[in-house]
Amino acid sequence: MEREISGWAYAKVNFGLRVLPGRADGFHGIESIFQTVDLYDELSLTTTAEKGCIVHCSDMELPENNTLTKAYNAFCKTVGCEVPGVRVELKKGIPSGGGLGGGSSDAAALTRMLERLCNVRLSDSELDNIAAETGSDVFFFMHCDDKGRGCALVSGRGEVVKKIHGRDDLFLVLIFPEVSSSTKEAYALVDEALACGNVLISPEFDELELVYRRPPENWTFINTFTPVISAKYKDIGRAIEALRALGCEYAEMSGSGSTVFGIFSSRQEAESAVKELTGSWNCKLARTV
């Protein structure tokens, strides 16, 4: 008998993202606050007679070995019991490759759905094992609540996650510039900047939560990626300036780009900004959750 389960996978933004020099294992250390916002993908899971995970997405073409199939295979290996085959219908609401963690959030959402399907509850270490085989940002999403919402201090290559009480009072305007910067390219550009000592000074890791609690107009967060990505893709800088011109309290790029966000003092101010920007930019209102 077929079973169906559906769920949402929320996007994240980075409040501050300090990139550390490359490590011997090829990864970079990071220091950041990850916060979910109410922009999401929709997943619908249906059990199948065939083994394995089949993913269908009408919004974009996915590689065969995507984050959902990786998470499914890692889940099967972790639980060590019979896991039904599944078909996943993915409806994208989070732009791909925009620094919002959509693919990683999808993987964590599927894991929660598989837990329900198989009536199991994985430990934190088991969730981390699945994340390790799926992607660095997946660690954060694995430690969100049962609905996929959360906020955390994130360090290491993304695997060190310390949950903190998130804010739900922040109204953001997200701008999606029509540029595509791969994570690999972004880290290569940062490596060049680090080698030249050409990086911005950011708050120390143990100060991040203190800064986060302040009004956004007093935030001193920086994103190491922003100067190098905006130097190559001018629309990134233009989007940030467009948000500042409309009176946002804080504007920055999320992740390695290319999504840019501005925080406004109220929903009304944010809605007004969206109206002003629409026509010139692809943008959307969001709130922290």
Q: Which amino acid is at 16?
A: G
The predicted structure's pLDDT at residue 199: 74
What is the model's pTM? 0.95
Is there a single domain that holds both residue 132 and residue 178? no
Q: How far is CA 94 from its chain centroid?
A: 9
Tally of structural domains, the chain: 2
Is there a single domain that holds both residue 136 and residue 214? no
Q: Which residues are catalytic?
A: 12, 137
Is there a single domain that holds both residue 25 and residue 109? yes
In whole angstroms, give the CA distance from residue 143 to residue 149. Answer: 9
CATH number, domain containing residue 241: 3.30.70.890
pLDDT tens readout for residues 217-236: 999 999 999 999 999 999 99
Query: Is 101 annotated to bind ligand?
Result: yes
Q: Band the pLDDT of 180: cuts 50, 70, 90.
A: confident
Query: Is 98 annotated to bind ligand?
Result: yes
Q: Considering 163, 183, 207, which residue would you say is the last residue of a domain?
A: 163
- Domain span at residue 94? 4-163
Query: Is 99 annotated to bind ligand?
Result: yes
Phi-psi region of 29 (alpha: psi -120 to 50; beta: other; left: phi over 0): beta
The predicted structure's pLDDT at residue 59: 86
The predicted structure's pLDDT at residue 219: 98
pLDDT tens readout for residues 29-77: 999 999 999 999 999 999 999 999 999 998 888 888 999 999 999 999 9
Query: Is 227 annotated to bind ligand?
Result: no
Query: Is 85 annotated to bind ligand?
Result: no
